[in-house]
Amino acid sequence: MEERLINIGFGNMVAVHRVVAVLMPNSAPGKRLREEARKNNLLLDATHGRKTRSIIVTDSNHVILSAVHVETLAQRFNGHPGSARPELLVKEA
């Protein structure tokens, strides 16, 4: 089985099968989710100091902040040409 990794910005990767949702950061639920994750030590900041443009929620309840737009991440998740490089595929043993 192949596990796809998607670049969420600045060389940071996330496994596609672990992602539950991708949210806009300025929505009220997104802000609440971010603060709740911060309180529970489940927040990962992958923005490298840039503006947060998307919030990624995983199946382990981790919340990842990304500087990549929601629409761009959606294209990468859906496997549109040029959005994911083949070398990012990892084969499980």
Count of domains observed in the chain: 1
Banded model confidence at residue 69, pLDDT cuts 50, 70, 90? very high
Q: Give the global pTM.
A: 0.83
Q: Alpha-carbon distance 80 to 59, whole Å?
A: 23
Q: What is the pLDDT of residues 38-67, one digit of tens each?
A: 999 999 999 999 999 999 999 999 999 999
Helix ranges restricted to H, 19-87: 28-39, 70-77
Range of the domain at 61: 2-91
Phi-psi sector, 24: left (phi>0), alpha (psi -120 to 50), beta: beta
